[in-house]
Amino acid sequence: MHAAAAPVAPTVTLPALGFATAVAQAVLLREAMAAVGGSELAWGAVLAVWLAAIGAGAWLGARRGGERLAAIGPFAVMVLTGAAVVLVRAGPVLTGAAAGEAATAWGGAWVWAVAVTAPALAGGWCFPVAAAGLAGAGGPALAYALESAGAMAGGLVFTFALAQGGAAVAVCVGAGVCAAALLASRGARWLALAPLLAGLAVAGPAGRELAHAAWRWSARLGDLAAWRETHVQRLELAAGAPAAIYADGRLAASFPDPFGTVPRAHLVMLLHPRPARVLVVGAADGGFVAMLRHPVERLVAVEEDPGLAAVLPRWLGAAAAPAWADPRFELAAGDPLRLVRGMTGFDLIVLGDGDPTTLRRNRTRTAEFFRACRGALGPGGILVLRVGVGDTYLAGAGGRLLAILAATLAQTFPEVVAVPGDEVALVAGRDPGTVVVDPAVLLARWRARGVRDDAFDPRTVSLLVDTARAAPLQAFVRAARASVNSSRHPRAVPLAAALREARGAPPLLNAARALDRHAPAVLLAALAAAAALLLARGATGAAFGIEAGAVVGFASMGWWVLLLACWQETVGSVYGEVGALSAAFMAGTVGGAAGARRWLRSGAVPLAGVQSAGAAVSLAIASGIPLAFPRAAVVPLLLVGGALTGAAFPSVSRLAGGGATRRGAGRGFAADEVGAAAGALLVGLVVLPWAGLAAGALGIAALQLAAAAALLLAASRAGR
């Protein structure tokens, strides 16, 4: 009786484990990015730690742990995730941050590293222990398929049901699901509903307590008046006036702001002689309230985060009430790429949504987007680009970022003028001779329009466009030789991210500048060294399972990063579709592992074939097909990539474990996760920005072909 019931446990435990690790990874990435910067540097570092810890746990699980660990593993992952969330939220207290100070990825690295490592270790440890219950040659493949199916379900549930509830809701519900799976695996199916209901019951109160506790730990001024979790960020509102809105722990806007937002808003309106139709990207600072004092016919403010757009009318308070009642004003919630491409005839476009610190934010700073903006402008139209770099020091990474953005604008617009300030404004004219920044002309426009605003003294116009500071700034912009920032080559991202993260960390800025100068040579040398090492290992006749698994993990993460970059640069933000895109990859993984278990003989030669097929996927990405036909190509390539990743696992586990299910599953899974960690750290942070999409995909293909050749060498040496 007991022997017949034994197989039920892993078939329940493994999907539950996949569900738990998917939810935990999403929660912790979201929390860590909110706490330590939200930039691509933070994303890559946190994900790399998570994947490496999963790999370390799987390596331990290949040797130690019994049935009880496998049974409680998914629930333990969620409990440890809850503790990790509290630890990350308490980061300001633990790191000794000043009141209201936002930590950087490097200043509080030990906090998020400790927080992320514990649940990841538990998840990785549990996998080979649970897989050991699936006997037979196809055991590792079935285990991988079951875990991937659970991860697919967890990703979808988090994206479409749990994300907007926040971390506490996700952890409580996830723990309830895992506890229910534990009871079901032990035969107590009639009790399984109880922990799920309990998780739902405590989720709301836990979320409220966590929000208020985190606010106290951050030591921000005032009380927490309101908060909201969205698909994009965590929003918080301080009680009192002015309205202070925090996004992912950083002050996003203060309204009204007579010393910052109001002067900038009036200045950009004065840059055009008759700004009748105006488009503003980025609405949180309320600058549109001042802009509406000018004689405009239509003003459209675009806010990418629908959750933020929904609360702005309440959170900005009575001072913004006239804007909401003004028939000339429209707040559009949605992706700026899609909205700009569907509009025409604007006199003025203002990009005030911040620097390209991530690939997502970079979408409004590329040559492709600037061309779309030019198409949306009417004759004599002007684009104003806000750059978070001051004009007082331009010798470092800030100057390089400004030069890249100016060069990118100049590729599309015939005239680009730089306006000095704590945040430089780049003004681009659709037609030659349309940009005028003469203080006398701007002041005459103010008087002719009859604008009245007690919060703005028009005599300060000469200070806002200080001609003494403008001349050397303009000379710098014209003389600087910089590469163009594009969807294929997002060169601005690492510089902007480094500037955001580098407070008190000059070595990070120096590293970013060094890579900016020497990246192609460094990356080519690293690729050649990796390929040579793989071939050398193959020539010795080594089993080569761990090395091949690492290449599979690196390639799968590289595909994921590159294909998501293609999607968001062409179709729009991935936040609305990331659940479906993730599900496509995981569905391919499930199918690939299940198919390999049934039809593909495991071993070095079949694995070499899978690696070669993977190189074909990399070459398809390098060809630019996903950028040219994103809707037709990205999802199929994700499916195929996932299928090849799943199909590789049986061979990887056999070679890594010598045929032993538990040892092979543990070592193979560990190698896959460590390779993926390297991919997360390198492809998104280094390879894509500095080598570009095509070169990055070609590099992955070269690595896969080297692994395939090494596998064939190893097989011939060993007589396999």
**Is residue 679 within 8 Å of residue 550, measured between CB atoms?**
no
Q: Which among 148, 151, 143 is positioned nearest to 127, based on CA atoms?
A: 143
Domain 256-487 shares a fold with domain 505-720: no
**Segment of 363-372, 590-599, 710-719 carrying the highest mean pLDDT:** 363-372
Q: Give the model's pLDDT for residue 3.
A: 40
599 pLDDT band, cuts 50/70/90, is confident
When pLDDT is averaged across residues 189-213 and rounded to a whole number, the result is 88
> What's the rounded mean pLDDT across residues 523-529?
91
Predicted local distance difference test score (pLDDT) of residue 64: 83
Return the pLDDT at 103. 56
Tell me the C-alpha to C-alpha distance, in Å, between residue 177 and each of 15, 66, 431: 11, 22, 60
- pLDDT tens-place string over residues 647-704: 999 999 988 887 777 888 899 999 999 999 999 888 877 888 888 899 999 999 999 9
Q: Give the model's pLDDT for residue 1.
A: 36
| Cβ neighbour number for residue 521 with a 10 Å cutoff | 9
Mean pLDDT for the chain? 87
Model confidence over 347-392: pLDDT tens digits?
Answer: 999 999 889 988 888 889 999 999 999 999 999 999 999 999 999 8
Q: Which fold has domain 1-228?
A: Growth Hormone; Chain: A; (1.20.1250)
Q: Between these two residues, 20 and 104, which has the higher pLDDT value?
A: 20
Closest to 663 measured CA to CA, from 543, 556, 553, 557 = 543
- pLDDT given at position 172: 95
CATH code of domain 505-720: 1.20.1250
CA atoms within 13 A on the CB side of 390: 3
Please tell me which residue, 386 or 192, carries the higher pLDDT value: 386
Q: Which residues contact 599 (CB under 8 A, 6 or more apart)?
A: none
- CA-CA distance, 50 to 29, in Å (whole number)? 9
Confidence of residue 7 (pLDDT cuts 50, 70, 90): very low
What pLDDT is attached to residue 277? 97
CA nearest neighbour of 700 among 530, 521, 515 = 530
Q: Where are the domains of the chain?
A: 1-228, 256-487, 505-720
In this structure, what token pair is assigned to residue 473? 């700034």
Alpha helix stretches (DSSP H) within 387-544: 397-412, 439-449, 461-464, 467-479, 492-501, 506-539
Q: Looking at residue 4, what is its pLDDT?
A: 41
- Cα separation, 291 vs 299, in Å, equals 8
The 10s digit of each residue's pLDDT in 459-490 is 899 989 988 899 999 999 888 888 899 988 88
Residues across the chain: 720
Question: What integer pLDDT is reported at residue 8 of this predicted model?
Answer: 47
Query: Which CATH architecture is the domain 256-487 placed in?
Result: 3-Layer(aba) Sandwich (3.40)
The highest-confidence range among 133-137, 396-400, 528-532, by mean pLDDT, is: 528-532
Cβ-based neighbour number of residue 375 at 10 Å? 13
Reported as a single tens digit per residue, the pLDDT across 236-282 is 999 888 889 988 877 888 888 888 899 999 999 999 999 999 999 99
pLDDT at 63: 84
Average of per-residue pLDDT across 75-99: 85
User: How do residues 303-330 score in pLDDT, each as one tens digit?
Assistant: 988 889 999 999 998 889 999 999 999 9
